Each structure stands twice: as structure tokens, then as C-alpha cells.
Structure 1
Amino acid sequence: MPPVAPMLAKAVPTIPPGASYEPKWDGFRSVVFRDGDEIEIGSRNEKAMTRYFPELARAFLAELPERCVVDGEIVIATAGGLDFEALQQRIHPAVSRVNMLAEATPASFIAFDLLALGDEDLTGRPFAERRARLEEALGSARPPVHVTPATLDVDLARQWFAEFEGAGLDGVVAKPLAGTYQPDKRVMFKIKHTRTADCVVAGYRVHKSGPDAIGSLLLGLYNDQGTLASVGVIGAFPMARRKELFTELQPLVTDFEGHPWNWAASPEASAGGRTPRSGEGSRWNAGKDLSFTPLRPERVVEVRYEHMEGDRFRHMGQFVRWRPDRTPESCTYEQLEVPISFDLDDIVPGLRR
């Protein structure tokens, strides 16, 4: 019975031998429950997401076994690869907009584990058995329900790791063949791409603990037009360092007049309309304040990131070091590694809708 916390993965630097390997999908982790005509889609944090994906709820009634619990990922596939931003837009309070987006940007479900079938609880069975049962139970499922590819060949897994990023995937997951399903435990392994980039620090947000500590630093890169575009944030600092940074950055504090991110004066300057504007809210937390303190864009920081989604970092970056030897103008998109292009339909046939 819902809710069930998904089993998690811990990051490792290389692909381990002797496991079952799958592409790491970049979407919403979901545990799907079906009991006859009842469907429940549970999120990673065990909250119900059924209302946001009515097209998937209908598909689950048609394509899943009559009584089952399936672990997987909700994704939106486009000609350019996985579109996480479009997926985020699907979380909306208005029923009319949810229904409109279900038609305009329909989602797909990638199944990769089977927790229960009929009256049988499979969580105590080894993964090798659960995978075989999953393939049998969903072998005839039609889009938008898919079973993720899997292999026991570590060399093929390395090939997937190198190639599939070009379709928007996130790396590779390795699952011990004898492993049981352990909710909320990091007993799988994930191998993700990591890279570094030199970025301009152009603003900050204060920490929730008080106004004299840095919560996050806002990062920018110069595009082909010479405009400083917002690419993401870094924010994992010890508390003592957050307070030191606040003091260090005060000489750079400026106002929005003349700042490259003066959104109120030039809304079209935001990179694709997805950069944080002063006072803008968050769809994930309506009470979250996304306003920021502008800084003169003079300091350069090297950050570690996994991959890009469009012109922004997909996940929060990690601080590496300050780069006083770099000029802000040298921090351009040209330094970023561009993955080779790869078609999603070559990974899962019929995934693009």
C-alpha cells in the first residue's frame, strides 16, 4: 500500500563490475500502484502525483497488470532529448492547465523494477528475479509505458555512459544482482558525468539562518552576444564559510541599475525566461523568495557540474576554487564540453511522443 519510499543509489566514481546496468533517466522518480481501477503515482518523497499526469494514469490502466507496484521514472521525451524543464511545468495547481499540458507535453513512464505482482510481495527477492518478472509482466506494454534497457555487459554499460548523455540521460545505474529492494536505502550505485567550468559570480541569496550568511552564489556565463546569462548556483558551504563569504562580497554589492540581470528593466534578457528574477516565486514552494542581491560581475569561480540542460546547469554546481587568474569576460559557453547527439528512440523505441 502507498506510500513506499523508492530505493536509492549512492554515487561512485567508476562503473563497478558484476552488476546489472541501466541508463540513468533524468525525470521524476515514481512508484506506481495499480489495484484494479485504482491508480496512485507516488513521488520520491512519497507524495501523490497522480493528478499531475492524467495521461499516464489512463495508460497504466491499459498497460500495467491489474494488481502491481512498479518503480520507474516519469520523463518527457522530445526530438532534442529529455526535457526536464517541461516536466517541471507539469506540476501545477490548476486542473485546466494540467489537462492542457497533458495534451501539449505528454509524459512517458520508464519502468525499472517490480515491487509487487498480484498478492506477491517481491521486495525480498533478488533483483535478478525482479528484473525477469518485470520483463515478463510488462513485455507487451505499449507507449507511453516502457521497460528500461538493461545489460550484464560492463563494456556496453561504459558505452551507454559515453553515448546516452547526448539524449539527455544522466549516467548509468548499477544494481547488485542479488540485492533486495530496500526503500529509502542507498544500496544501488550511480555513475554520473562530472565536469568543471569557470563562472562569473553575479549575485547571492542570503542563508535561511539570517541576513549575514550566504545561502547561494548566482553564476553566469557570457553567450555569443556578449550577454551574461544565468547558468545556475552553488551553495554547499560550511556555516563559518557562509559568514566569511558574506563579508568578503560586500565590496561588490551594487544595485540593479546597470547590472546585467536587471530583470525588471529588461525581462527579455533572462536566458530563455528561466533565470531567477528579483522577487520571482518557485513552483515547488510558493513561499520561497527567489530575490537576490546583485554583485558587480568581477569574481570568477571554478565549479563542478554534471551536465547542462539547455543553457543552464541541470543540478546545483559544487564549489572547486576561486580563479583570480581568470577574467570574467573569458568565462564563456565555449569552454563547456558538448556531448555527442544521440536519439532517444535508439535507446527506447517509441519513447518520443
Structure 2
Amino acid sequence: MHLPVMPPISPMLAKSVPTIPDGASYEPKWDGFRSICFRDGDEVEFGSRNERPLTRYFPELVTAAKAELPQRCVIDGEIVIATEAGLDFEALQQRVHPAASRVNMLAAATPASFIAFDLLALDDRGFSVEPFAVRRAALAEALAGCGPAFLVTPATTDLSTALRWFDELEGAGFDGVIAKPLSGPYAPDKRVMFKIKHQRTADCAVAGYRLHKGSDDAVGSLLLGLYRADGTLASVGVIGAFPMARRRELFAELQPLVTTFDDHPWQWAGDNRETSRWNAGKDLSFVPLRPQLVVEVRYDHMEGDRFRHTAQFNRWRDDRDPRSCTYEQLEQPLTASLYDIVPNLRRTEPPTEGQP
């Protein structure tokens, strides 16, 4: 492979800001795996945000890249799986599997798409030093007519359109909006773009804790629950960003609430030792607590019935009854189809019940 920009390379990053700035180029914030695609003839590589290759997990995109992309190019984008219900990040996570047979099966069952949003090189020309306005125009021209696997993300310089995307597209699985300065060059591993994400709060019952790595007297994370309409307590996520001194204080404060799994809403956890699918050596077992404490957390959006990302501690709510921590309190985002703005995006049918 001989390209003006060679792998590995760290993608350009974004920093969070509370409002959408004026005078930029705006794009929907796709919820997938950030990736830079390198193609030099029959050689195709997909790098990740941490510069590790994703190529083996998406064989269908390797094949599609040879059919749809220019012969020699380097393109920044996002690998996603799209369904009629919106972007399916859980299906995307299942693709990262050590068994080639399962990867190939999922590639056929839930094919991914690549959403392109920046151009680093085309043929022998490097574009990294060019302003984003130039890179965007060249990207749109280079990928004109591509599809169904490779598509260019919608973009606008109209602030009112960006605000509408922010409000309407969340229900389709978008994270928010990205704002890019029109005059800036491509800056690997630098936070020169802006991301505007939804921020909400929820009151959750604290149902357990995990110990801090390497310590037996400090809390690593608190397990959060919300009550369903039938009265059962659902596991919705964790919070864990505490100073070490506070972690030790929490450990002492929580001991009176420690209980057994026999008396806990999540009895199943006592029968099955939980480990991470992504790190077999990571123990996800926890200490059960009577769900008597309520904590207010900040979150961006839900994925199914769980927080999509790790929630952030806001404050304790001693005035709240844990039983009042229900799903009904959560704000329901507006629902719009992602195909309204990307009509040609490849549709993947979600697996039916009983399928992998």
C-alpha cells in the first residue's frame, strides 16, 4: 500500500460544547465505529479511533470498497448498521468477535455501511492541509454515485437545518450534531471540531457496586436501576467517575445496605458470574445493595432500555423514593427516520427472535 496518507493514523476529534455554534458546516453525529478507510487498488484497510485495524470484522465493507470507492483514497467516516428502527449500535458491537465464522455469518445477516465525512487523500494528492470546505467538496465529487455500502453524510451550512436535525433525528439513533470549521485543515488526534449532544437527567435507584480495580475498600462503579411498569427493577447502566477519596467514603457508606442475591431484585446475577464480552478477563460481578438510595445522573440518550453511554453523577436525591425511579420520567425523543436524510442508506433487517 502506497498512499499520500498511510495507516495507522488517529482521526480528527471533537470537543463537547453546549450549543451549536454559528458559521460552520454541520453534520448529524452518527453513532457507530469511527474509522478511516485506506484503499490502494485491491488493498483495503479500516483503522479505528485507537489506530487498531477493524478490517477483519467487516469483510463485506472490504468487498464493497473495491467496488464502490476510487482506486486510491483515504476517507474518514463511521461504520454503522442501519435498520428501519434507526442505527443499531448493539448489532455493530456483535461484529467484533474472534471467530471468523461468526464474523462472516453476521456480515451476511447484518451488513454494515460506511458513512464518509472527510477526505484525506485521493490518488497521489493529500488533502489533509486543505480547508475543510475544499475537502468536503472533493469528497462529494469523488464518491458521487457510490452506494449502497459507502455514502457521504449529509451536511449543511444552514444553522436552522442543524437545529432541526438535533431535535428530530435523535429517535433514529443519532448522537447529536457535529460542527466543523470551514477553514480548518485535518488535524489528527486534535479536538478541533465541535460536538453537541443531548444532555438529560434521570433519578435512578442504586442497586449495587463494583470494587475499584486493585482495591478492596473503594467503589469502582455504582449500578443503576429504573423500575418498569410491572414493578421489576431493570439494570440501566453505571456511574463511576469519583475521586479516590470519595470512592473509599462510598465504600464505607454503602456497607449497611449490602444484602444477598436471594433478597435482591437481580437474583439472576448471583447464579451467573458475569464477564465482559469484550474482555474475557474482566470480572463484572458486583456487590448487591438494597435499592434504597436515589442518585440523579446525567445521560445523553438511551439504547433500548439502558443508557447508551456511562452516566455521570449529578447529585444524591434523599428526597426521592426509589420506587418513583421509573422509565416514565425519561424524556421521549422525537422520532424521525434516518432515511429521510439518507434515502439510499442500506437497510439491514434486525434478527428475528431466536436468531443470533
- What range is the shorter-chain TM-score in? over 0.9
Q: Give the alignment partner of residue 308 of structure 2, picking from 303, 314, 329.
A: 314
- 1:303 alignment counterpart: 297
- Taking the TM superposition and a 5 Å limit, the aligned residue runs for 1:1-353 are 1-264=6-269, 279-351=273-345, 352-353=347-348
Deviation at 1:69, TM superposition (A): 0.4
| Backbone CA RMSD of aligned residues | 1.0
Q: Which amino acid aligns with 2:92?
A: L
SS at match of 2:268: coil
Q: For residues 82-102 of structure 1, what are the alpha-carbon distances to aligned partners after superposition, in whole Å with 9 as ceiling and x for unaligned?
A: 111111001000011001111
- 1:270 alignment counterpart: none
- Mapped to 1, the partners of 2:188 and 2:315 lie a distance apart of 36
Give ranges in structure 1 of 5+ residues lacking alignment.
267-277
Q: Compared with structure 1, are the counterparts of its residues 264 and 158 closer, same or farther at alpha carbon in structure 2 (3 Å cutoff)?
A: closer
Deviation at 1:347, TM superposition (A): 1.8
Deviation at 1:284, TM superposition (A): 2.0
Q: For residues 141-166 of structure 1, what are the alpha-carbon distances to aligned partners after superposition, in whole Å with 9 as ceiling and x for unaligned?
A: 01111100000001110111010101
- Mapped to 2, the partners of 1:66 and 1:316 lie a distance apart of 40
Deviation at 1:9, TM superposition (A): 0.1
* Maintained 8 Å contact 2:274/2:285: yes
* Maintained 8 Å contact 1:91/1:283: no
Q: For residues 86-121 of structure 1, what are the alpha-carbon distances to aligned partners after superposition, in whole Å with 9 as ceiling and x for unaligned?
A: 110010000110011111111111000000111111
- Mapped to 2, the partners of 1:7 and 1:71 lie a distance apart of 9
> Normalising by the residue count of structure 2, what TM-score does the alignment of the two structures yield?
0.94
- Mapped to 2, the partners of 1:253 and 1:126 lie a distance apart of 57
- Mapped to 2, the partners of 1:154 and 1:16 lie a distance apart of 8
* Maintained 8 Å contact 1:21/1:172: yes
Identity %: 73
* Maintained 8 Å contact 2:269/2:285: no
- Mapped to 1, the partners of 2:40 and 2:274 lie a distance apart of 41
> Normalising by the residue count of structure 1, what TM-score does the alignment of the two structures yield?
0.95
Q: Which amino acid aligns with 1:335?
A: Q
- Mapped to 1, the partners of 2:20 and 2:214 lie a distance apart of 39
SS at match of 1:257: helix
Give ranges in structure 2 of 5+ residues lacking alignment.
1-5, 349-356
After the TM superposition, list the runs of 4 or more consecutive aligned residues in structure 1 that deviate by more than 3 angstroms.
none
